[in-house]
Structure 1
């Protein structure tokens, strides 16, 4: 059976191909009677409408923003930080009448075809490891690009926070309360799926720049307080989940001597640490202080954390791309805030 095209319909109705095209794309240019006749013939021939990909190529735009997201789609709609960012980005897209295409690249996935084949007008790159093949593919497309969290690429707009300063603020909070036995649980250092104790070399060689800098902030604050960083127990997890935080909590709290304060780089991990403390019958904050990061769904749990403007960052990223100013080099550093709640207190007296 021959493929039905605009020309097929035009020949049947006795009009030009451009007139048929107007019936689908610019109906206001035709009389209602003519448009109705064209649509009836199209329906009779089983024609659903112009190919959207071909139409986007003709117009020179796709009508969609592309988000490079370094996790699964399921994670994108479950992680509180991601949800907040997506809400901001979607708001900007919706206000401009364009769509949002999420391009998931899970940890360890080195493919770049997803980026190469995406029909989008611009890219928002969120937390992609420096040197990832998909990053080179993004820039090869010659479209506007905004990078969020990492990596910083000179010549392209970057949105994030001062990671070392924010992490140091979190650490100094428990140190000023008097804690000296500090433990750390972190996710997002490497892409190899490793979970367990992280050596100094592994910490320093992390492929994710933002997390490497965040870890550096913890170290700086501890060393300022006279704590030998090499003696700080550091547990790394492969995935940002509450169960992973629970596992890290059991490992850290099984040490002798046991940490009196635990720093985490996400609120999700911190909630898992609280679960582990409950398993062991430890009272928070009397026997253990816990600090999260991002202020994502942390208020209900009474979690002390660093607040990030996640929704504002998403909206700003979208507006930069949509305004056409994404080609102008710019580094936007957003504020952060230490939110002190009920999960931190001075260490128990021994």
Structure 2
């Protein structure tokens, strides 16, 4: 049986250092294109396919893999515009650094066999979204690896966020210029309920999505400053950022005898569903009702009336999270900018 060639064997056969062989496979920017092409061709002739990941881990203590922990199911994160563009931004920066991503769902990480796999495979974690206290969070913290959180805060660790409360206040103040008489808030994960329904103040709990509670408080800040009562009888809560759920909530609100004339939606997905339902019901926007959203996804601007919303930059948020991880800046708290986009739904 032929002995498998090591990187030392290959370096000796070609007449270069082991570092040069390693760079040809793992850090091409360190070599000229001509030298790298020659080395890779000679390696192919020798039947050498590159340094093993296990060997690299033993030498450096690093696997070159980052665990990206998603608070939602993987399918949702891949299909959601905001989530998928965040991942795209991560990938852009990690590709440049020759780092791989391992996508993980926080909902599946509390199984002991999977925990052991994660511990051995990754150099650290980027957590996207809120992971509540419990086994998953304890597992991440126990490893004492590099950890960065996005759209959430965790004491002692770097974070990437937008100012959800301030941004929500800005868009609410804009909407209040039209002097609405009946305001509806279409909330997203304001509590831990798994059903779409209206909520009262007593229904809010600490298991709600942090960014949604911040957005709700931003709306309340604007209402309080304007001397307008908080609309506790017209706050809907959706357990997921889902078009069908949002359509049901919108139909319920639009069909009520006390129909709202302003819909403050905590995501553009909810605003788009509300726009579609109102159009289907023959309700004119913005003449009879006005709608504002949050996120700035393209679908909100692709059809008329375009949605007034808060634009956040999800791809840049991903790039920033990757840069913090690569640079080892594990204590920084970064607040990304947002902008008010005024559309036709609430001019």
Q: Counterparts in 2 of 1:1-350, with a 5 A limit?
A: 8-9=3-4, 19=9, 26=18, 39=47, 52-53=53-54, 55-106=56-107, 111=110, 113=112, 114=114, 116-118=116-118, 119-150=121-152, 152-297=153-298, 298-301=300-303, 302-326=306-330, 329-345=331-347
Q: Tell me the matched-pair count.
A: 323
Give the C-alpha shift of residue 261 in structure 1: 0.8
Find the residue that maps to 1:251 and give its secondary structure.
Answer: helix
Match in the other structure for 2:35? none
Q: Are the structure 2 counterparts of residues 204 and 218 from structure 1 closer, same or farther at C-alpha, using a change threshold of 3 Å? A: farther
Give the C-alpha shift of residue 192 in structure 1: 4.3
CA distance in 1, matches of 2:93, 2:157: 19
Match in the other structure for 2:26? none
CA distance in 2, matches of 1:221, 1:17: 64
Give the C-alpha shift of residue 294 in structure 1: 0.8
Q: Are the structure 2 counterparts of residues 125 and 229 from structure 1 closer, same or farther at C-alpha, using a change threshold of 3 Å? A: same
Find the residue that maps to 1:325 and give its secondary structure.
Answer: coil
Q: Deviations over 1:191-222 (max 9, x none)?
A: 44222112212235443222111111112212
Q: Deviations over 1:310-334 (max 9, x none)?
A: 11111010001011222xx221111
Contact 1:149 1:210 (8 Å CA) reproduced: yes
Q: Are the structure 2 counterparts of residues 230 and 112 from structure 1 closer, same or farther at C-alpha, using a change threshold of 3 Å? A: farther
Q: Which runs of 5+ in 1 are unaligned?
A: 11-15, 43-47, 346-350
Q: Are the structure 2 counterparts of residues 112 and 344 from structure 1 closer, same or farther at C-alpha, using a change threshold of 3 Å? A: farther
Structure 2 length normalisation: TM-score? 0.82
CA distance in 2, matches of 1:29, 1:50: 8
Q: Deviations over 1:94-135 (max 9, x none)?
A: 1111112211235xx672654552212221111123314222
CA distance in 1, matches of 2:230, 2:109: 33
Q: Deviations over 1:215-259 (max 9, x none)?
A: 111122122222221544111112211111111101111222100
Q: Are the structure 2 counterparts of residues 159 and 205 from structure 1 closer, same or farther at C-alpha, using a change threshold of 3 Å? A: same
- RMSD of aligned residue pairs (Cα, Å): 3.1
Q: Are the structure 2 counterparts of residues 318 and 27 from structure 1 closer, same or farther at C-alpha, using a change threshold of 3 Å? A: closer
